[in-house]
A and B are shown apart, each in its own frame.
Chain A
Amino acid sequence: MLTSFAAPNGGAQCPTGGRAGTDMSRFGMVIDTRKCVGCMDCVVACQTENDVPAGYCRDWITTEVRGQFPAVSMEIRSERCNHCDNPPCVSCCPTGASHVAEPGHVVLVTADKCIGCKACIAACPYDARYVHPDGYVDKCTFCHHRTKEGKDPACVSVCPTHCMYFGDLDDPKSKVNELLRTRKFHTLLPEAGTRPRVFYLT
């Protein structure tokens, strides 16, 4: 596990203020699609930080092209579990393995409670989960081991274009809130009613 990911913008500018989240926190991520170049550093950082098995990924790059030539637009996004406010993967879990954890109100899976029934995988509209080769269901944790200590997730820390921001959505002074107040943004499949907490600036 790499532990040397220093926040590129320094702890003082870390969206959580460089402090560990509190029980009142509600972590979220904002990604500026105008800056993202799809370099996949975030994907590699996640795989290294979290020992993601070869052939699997907790985050990935999606490229969306739309329009008719010459009016064609392209959006590049770094995608992952949306840590939804209304997570269908949590409510369908028969053992409570899939749960909402503090600080940050993030959605996690307790491996030794998971029976591998895969109901949560079928329930997730974002297909953000997979069966780990060891049998339990795995997914992005927002790097909870880092964020609960006030650090950014590994993907945010390494982003060379600084297009990813992480912070407390319930803190009106946080960088993520400032961006959501001042920029246009969208979420993925809002019609699913899951209230995702990864936002894409456009």
Chain B
Amino acid sequence: MFEITTTRHNPLIDPSLAVWSWEIPVYLFAGGLVAGMMILGGLAMLRAARGDDPRTYFSLHTPLLAFVLINLGMGALFLDLAHKLYVWRVFLTFQPGSPMSWGSWVLIAVYGALLASALIRLPQAWPWLGQRVPLLQRLSDWLLASAGRVKALGWANIALGTGLGIYTGILLNTMVARPLWNSAILGPLFLVSGLSAGAAAMHVASIFLPRRPPPQGMIGGAVSALCQQLGDEPPERRTVDGLIRADLLFLAVELVLLGLLVVNLQTSSASHIAAAALIVSGPYAWAFWGVIIALGILVPLALQGLELGHRIPHTILPALLVLVGGFALRWVMVNAGQASHIVHAAGL
């Protein structure tokens, strides 16, 4: 027999840690999504700087959408803070040992890169704003006048997107007290999941492309600027196929990394094996196998494979499923991670 009883009764701590609710999964999902969009957008900028037709790359046209999404994520994070009025304290210091401190400063740079990227096409996509603030037009012209500047912005997007994507995983990874999170695989896993979610978000956004003629006024122009139209014609088939191929690759890598995470935990200490059981066969197994693996990866892989082979028509269903799976991954990891704990040796 091994039995522990305690008189401790602190709210959100006992009987099981539950300090993070829906806000942190939303924040991590939005962060990963935007990270993916930034990397894909950055790659498109490098191609555009090399001379490719920028209209070919839809990812070039969604930085403002990414800006809105990252603000939604930051809004969720703010709601999670228990001492909200002191949030500015984060920006008075830099704590090199704290992933959250790194993330806060990276997010400042992310905001700058997203706004600069949006500026490239903002005056054309939202004429109402471009006419009233001529400075935006001049800045846009200045950015586009040099391939070197577009290239630099592209690299900035890739570097910051990679940093942001990995950060969302490392944030959990560094907490020794929660065995489910004690794997450095979480960094690349969340990054690749963010890439697949970013590609999926662009797929979904593409159906909301403004129809001809796009709205130009104050409100309609602002909304249509979120996914700036590529031109009079819909995206070329090969562009869409390219995005699907990229998503297939991301999903396959994500599946491998999830497998490695489980192997990593299952072959580690008793605490880690117990943590793995939470998602593999315990209370979170339905979400892990059913939503993350099946609905979020396997079904989209199959559907997109069939789409590429022109066996079924192209729809946004796989993209929607990828987004659901991406959020479920964060939800499961945050909640099951809090439920995991170091197993007392005497209790084995």
* Chain A residues with a Cβ under 8 A of chain B: 40, 43, 55-57, 60-68, 72, 79, 88, 90-97, 111-119, 121-125, 127, 129-131, 134-137, 189, 191-194
Q: Report the bound CA distance from A67 to B346 in whole Å.
A: 10
Give how many B residues have a beta carbon under 8 Å from the other chain's beta carbons.
49
Given contacts A127-B14, A136-B83, contact A192 B175 (CB under 8 A): no
Chain A residues, Cβ within 8 Å of B97: 90-92
Per-position 1/0 for B92-113, Cβ under 8 A of A: 1101011111001000000000
Q: Which of B2-10, B183-191, B302-310 contacts A (4 or more CB under 8 A)?
A: B2-10
User: Is B241 an interface residue when CB atoms closer than 8 A count as contact?
Assistant: no
- Contact, CB under 8 Å: A122 / B9: no
Q: Report the bound CA distance from A130 to B338 in whole Å.
A: 14
Tell me the smallest distance from the CB of B292 to a CB of chain A, in Å: 21
- Contact, CB under 8 Å: A63 / B1: no
User: Is B289 an interface residue when CB atoms closer than 8 A count as contact?
Assistant: no
- Contact, CB under 8 Å: B12 / A95: no
Tell me the smallest distance from the CB of A124 to a CB of chain B, in Å: 6
The residue on A at minimum CB distance from B92 is: A95
The residue on B at minimum CB distance from A91 is: B97
- Contact, CB under 8 Å: A95 / B19: no
- Contact, CB under 8 Å: B80 / A61: no
- Contact, CB under 8 Å: B20 / A115: no
- Within 8 Å by CB of B95, from A57, A93, A125, lies A93
User: Is B145 an interface residue when CB atoms closer than 8 A count as contact?
Assistant: no
- Contact, CB under 8 Å: B174 / A92: yes
Chain A residues, Cβ within 8 Å of B81: 115-117
- Within 8 Å by CB of B7, from A60, A72, A117, lies A60
User: Is B342 an interface residue when CB atoms closer than 8 A count as contact?
Assistant: yes
Per-position 1/0 for B154-179, Cβ under 8 A of A: 00000000000000000100111110
The residue on B at minimum CB distance from A67 is: B1
Chain B residues, Cβ within 8 Å of A130: 10-13
- Within 8 Å by CB of B89, from A43, A56, A67, A95, lies A95
- Within 8 Å by CB of B177, from A40, A66, A96, A123, lies A123
- Contact, CB under 8 Å: A56 / B7: no
- Within 8 Å by CB of B175, from A61, A72, A97, A123, lies A123
- Contact, CB under 8 Å: A113 / B17: no
- Contact, CB under 8 Å: B83 / A115: yes
Tell me the smallest distance from the CB of B268 to a CB of chain A, in Å: 12
Chain A residues, Cβ within 8 Å of B104: 94
- Contact, CB under 8 Å: B90 / A66: no
Q: Report the bound CA distance from A119 to B97 in whole Å.
A: 13
Tell me the smallest distance from the CB of A187 to a CB of chain B, in Å: 12
